[in-house]
């Protein structure tokens, strides 16, 4: 699976771990920057990763900033992107399975390398559920998004 990877300066120290974990799992990371700890703005990088999902260039994305909150908020502003901040494996897998999350957001100043690896493994191994109750809920979420786009 092709996966966008993007971070701001605060997320950059954990970015190599993300890329290497994806490769070890047999996936293809697509790097959308940043490439240093020089201060940059997280919305720019969350947008690049999110648009790669929307444009069909990648199937999923992993974004990083200091807390994970900024990239999560920015990612969720993009119609078709379902970004979640996950600092545990349960949320990372269930977010995909039940809620069809397609952007994992991580806080590099919150979690360490080993936990990040486990969360990425959970996110990447999860498969969106096709159970009617989950599909119904995902469709309701999509309807909320569409209703606000029409305003």
Task: Give the residue numbers annotated as catalytic, written as ranges.
Answer: 65, 98
Under 8 Å between Cβ of 52 and 4: yes
The pairing of beta strand 103-107 with beta strand 60-65:
parallel
| Residue with token string 């498969």 | 127
Nearest to 22 by CA among 34, 35, 6: 6
Residue 149 neighbours by CB distance under 10 Å: 8
Q: Tokens for 106?
A: 């991580």
């Amino acid at each position: 699976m092709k996966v966008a990877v993007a971070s701001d300066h605060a997320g950059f120290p954990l970015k190599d771990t993300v890329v290497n974990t994806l490769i070890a799992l047999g996936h293809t990371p697509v790097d959308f920057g940043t490439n240093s700890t020089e201060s940059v703005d997280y919305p720019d990088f969350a947008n690049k990763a999110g648009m790669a999902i929307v444009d069909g260039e990648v199937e999923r994305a992993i974004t990083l900033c200091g807390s994970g909150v900024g990239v999560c908020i920015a990612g969720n502003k993009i119609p078709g992107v379902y970004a979640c901040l996950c600092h545990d494996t349960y949320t990372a897998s269930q977010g995909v399975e039940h809620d069809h999350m397609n952007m994992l957001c991580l806080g590099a100043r919150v979690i360490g390398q080993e936990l990040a690896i486990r969360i990425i493994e959970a996110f990447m191994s999860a498969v969106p559920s096709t159970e009617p109750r989950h599909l119904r809920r995902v469709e309701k979420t999509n309807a909320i998004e569409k209703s606000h786009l029409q305003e």
